[in-house]
Structure 1
Amino acid sequence: MGYKVAVVGATGAVGHEILKTLAEREFPADEIVALASERSAGQQVSYGEDDVLDVQDLARYDFTGVDIALFSPGAKVSAEYAPRAARAGAVVIDNTSHFRMDPDVPLVVPEVNPQAIADYGKKHIIANPNCSTIQMVVALKPLHELARIKRVVVATYQAAAGAGKEGMDELFNQTRAVYVNDPMKKEVFTKQIAFNVIPHIDVFMDDGSTKEEWKMVVETKKILDPSIKLQATCVRVPVFIGHSEAVNVEFETPLDEVEARAALKEAEGVVLIDHRADEGYVTPVESAGEDSVYVSRLRSDPTVDNGLSFWVVSDNLRKGAALNAVQIAEKLASDYLAA
């Protein structure tokens, strides 16, 4: 006997990827329910290669009998409906930002802190971290185990998919407009994204950082180690899918390249591809559609004691969202729930 699983936000980019990932990984589900807003009710979404699901109206849905609910509808919707699903008995795995810093809600990356799932019972909600945080902490975890991390400085290069289907559409439409000399329309991003980079993701905060940068700081502390100091600069780039990060790490004790390479080669979820030659590294194009976090350009930083720099790339819709949520569900099902 399997589980009854609800996918909330099933018509969105992450929702589609969650359904695809559940099918590909053969999650033990007897029933999959696709939920979205009233305006999307009645549409159909694919589940695997052969199955099609009718989308139901979230506002009218009774979660009684649902074992696991995978949410990706936006923070305001999750704030209202995730507790409702939890009260009905479902364990919610929420992909939005709303519950991440709630002290009673575990924030989980299965390769990094799977033990945190055990605390799901406090609110019956588990939070999925921000996409940019996930890939970074997967790469940092094996290094942190060898030599505790003191400080991280990271610059991100984040794909348009991080702003959903609308972001990808705006990149496509603006790129086309450049070539056919159409007017440049700007609705999703604060500046033109085609042939440009924008050092601004989410709202600005009082200290001059953006909320996306703040998320990376506080989420890394909650997931990996509260003593880590982190400075982030988050940038939107004209790439459809796949986030990249240039990461500089300062450790408390020495850690040389050889040790770091060995640890990353053995780390769960990490693929080290680092050849000091043309094409000997991974870019977002190669990461799209893949599950792994790719590390390249690993090298010592001679400007600080115990420093390393490296490049991290991952599909933000897969590992940065859908896959991480499904991995949490798999761990939850195998270790904590009885089907």
Structure 2
Amino acid sequence: MSYRIAVSGAPGQMGREIVKTLAERDFPTASLTALASGRAVGGTMSHGEQDVVVAAVERHDWSATDLLFMAPGTPAPVLLARRAAAAGCTVIDATGAGGPDIPVVVPEVNPGALSANPRVVANPVAGAILLALALHPLQAIGGLVRVVATSLQPVSGAGRDAMDELFSQTRGVFVNDQANPEQFTKPIAFNLIPHVGAFGEDGRTEEEEAIAEELPRLLGGQIAVTATCVRVPVFIGQSVAVHASFDRPVSEAEAREAIRGAQGLTLLDRRDDGGYITPLETVGEDPVFISRLRADPALPHGLALWCAGDNLRKGGALNAVQIAEEMDRRGALRQ
């Protein structure tokens, strides 16, 4: 079977990566329509060896589409998802706009969430994807009770303009130009900003709240999650420092064995100079990498670890395409 596919927000960072990943993984595609709004309409982009003209999302006929990927930059994503689903389209939402009634899925972790053949499925935020992959094999050997995570998030998560701001501010430092933040609240070059998303009344930001809510939904069970999200002067590649507590002892040896056997993970952990992964090394790579695995004596039955991955691939586009692949295997995609 081949599917009529549309990608909204296609000209953006995540949209382009979804289109690229569909071609790289040879997803069964009868046709691909790139959608956007505003000035991006009428431009061209590549899908494999073909050039695709970007069409207006507001005028698209959803009855002629089997599968819609919604990337950041999609206008009114909640309404658009409802409209497309009502026309018989399956929607994979990577905008972060999904609500508690929309299943969030990482195929290596909770593919069973697709068993009800939902019409709308959500990509979790990148931090929740990385954490779910890292902790899923450990949860199987020790009941996960508590997670404290510090997510170090690259500027690509905020789009192309944010990447341009980091570039221009970095260059400006060397010529003594004054930094004038537009995409962020403070200068991002040579700086850290502990602020990703709007603040809520409880002091958490939207991104921190999303991680705390999505991780237990992905892993199942009653898990207390606290996250701090920090924007860092990195273009691509997200990292998370994790401290996890279990309801029974989990040895380092058991944890290493479980991670080595887990799908979607690569253990790169030598206790010497350079024996760990950095965000730069994850760019263009599909796995989530685990390093710095060690006991955490500050927590009951605690482990500490470092995980990192390409936020535009497994943290975004790749996960979305893998959801579609899993739905295709289950016969859950309508034509």
Query: What's the TM-score, normalizing by structure 1?
Result: 0.96
Alignment of structure 1 residues 53-92 onto 2, 5 Å:
53-74=52-73, 77-92=76-91
Q: What corresponds to 1:161 in structure 2?
A: 156
Q: What corresponds to 1:110 in structure 2?
A: 107
Structure 2 unmatched ranges of 5 or more: none
Change (3 A) 1:73 1:155: closer
Quote the offset at 1:223 in angstroms.
Answer: 1.4
Equivalent residues of 1:241, 1:315 under 8 A apart:
yes
Partner Cα distance (1:208, 1:102) in 2: 21
Name segments (4+ residues, structure 1) moved above 6 Å: none
Partner Cα distance (1:37, 1:184) in 2: 30
Alignment of structure 1 residues 1-339 onto 2, 5 Å:
1-48=1-48, 50-74=49-73, 77-99=76-98, 101-103=99-101, 105-121=102-118, 124-335=119-330, 336-337=332-333
Render the CA deviation track for 1:241-274: whole Å, top value 9, x for unaligned: 0011100000001100000000000101000000
Q: Secondary structure at the match of 1:119?
A: coil
Q: Secondary structure at the match of 1:174?
A: helix
Render the CA deviation track for 1:192-233: whole Å, top value 9, x for unaligned: 100000111111111112111111100112111240001111
Partner Cα distance (1:338, 1:162) in 2: 31
% identity of equivalent residues: 48
Partner Cα distance (2:89, 2:187) in 1: 42
Partner Cα distance (1:226, 1:262) in 2: 23
- Across the aligned residues of Structure 1 and Structure 2, the Cα RMSD in angstroms comes to 1.3
Equivalent residues of 2:155, 2:163 under 8 A apart:
yes
Equivalent residues of 1:75, 1:98 under 8 A apart:
no
Partner Cα distance (2:86, 2:334) in 1: 18
Q: Secondary structure at the match of 2:228?
A: strand
Render the CA deviation track for 1:149-193: whole Å, top value 9, x for unaligned: 010111111101111111111110110111122231201111110
Q: Secondary structure at the match of 2:216?
A: helix
Partner Cα distance (1:39, 1:134) in 2: 32
Query: What's the TM-score, normalizing by structure 2?
Result: 0.97
Equivalent residues of 1:154, 1:231 under 8 A apart:
yes
2:148 corresponds to which letter in structure 1? V
Quote the offset at 1:75 in angstroms.
Answer: 6.7
The size of the alignment, in residue pairs, is 334
Equivalent residues of 2:12, 2:73 under 8 A apart:
no
Equivalent residues of 2:8, 2:74 under 8 A apart:
no
1:13 corresponds to which letter in structure 2? Q
Equivalent residues of 2:130, 2:309 under 8 A apart:
yes
Partner Cα distance (1:54, 1:174) in 2: 33
1:288 corresponds to which letter in structure 2? V
Render the CA deviation track for 1:33-56: whole Å, top value 9, x for unaligned: 1111132111001112x2110100
Partner Cα distance (2:97, 2:196) in 1: 17
